[in-house]
Amino acid sequence: MIEGFLFVLTLVTALGCGLIAGVFFAFSTFVMRALAQLPAARGIEAMNSINVTVINPWFMLAFLGTALASVVLVIAAIVEWGEPYAIYLLVGGLVYLAGVILLTGRYHVPRNDALATLDPNAPDAESQWNHYVRTWTAGNHVRTIAPLASAALLTIALRVS
């Protein structure tokens, strides 16, 4: 049975996963759609502004704090390996780390960095912006599903314990 610190950590991590899933869900379902409806130059400027302002203590606490907690849960799963909840902690933690942290670093950050160098008034800015919105959003759908799945798995871990 999950007790004490591990119970609290699992619960807080599940909530963090849900919070991050909600942020990504908002981007996938309406933020990017709204930005795509703006003229390319304005959409590019708005997204670049979002990419700068997202680096703030509150978001980073939720985003990276949940990652750190996921690492601890993966380690706890290995230590507690024979317990019925261990597999859920392991997979839940790994799904967050791969589907959120790794995907962000390898897929979204490079696209955001490239967008930051794009001249919004360049002749091909509109086509590059349209491509960015399409590919960034497709990857973001995965980033939405991953923490939601992690939250579900961690919740199941609490239940099966």
Domains in the chain: boundaries: 4-160
Ramachandran class of 38: left when φ > 0, alpha when ψ lies in -120 to 50, beta otherwise: beta
Residue matched to tokens 């314990």: 161
Amino acid found at 18: G
158 has a pLDDT exceeding 90 = yes
Residues 69, 89: contact at Cβ < 8 Å? Answer: no
| pLDDT above 90 as % of the chain | 98
Residues 88, 157: contact at Cβ < 8 Å? Answer: yes
CA 149 to CA 88: how far, in whole Å? Answer: 11
Among residues 6, 34, 3, 4, the alpha carbon closest in space to that of 92 is found at: 6
pTM value is 0.95
CA distances to 2, 7, 50, 85, 125 from 12, in Å: 13, 9, 26, 16, 42
161 has a pLDDT exceeding 90 = no
CA 126 to CA 55: how far, in whole Å? Answer: 26
Average of per-residue pLDDT values in the chain: 97
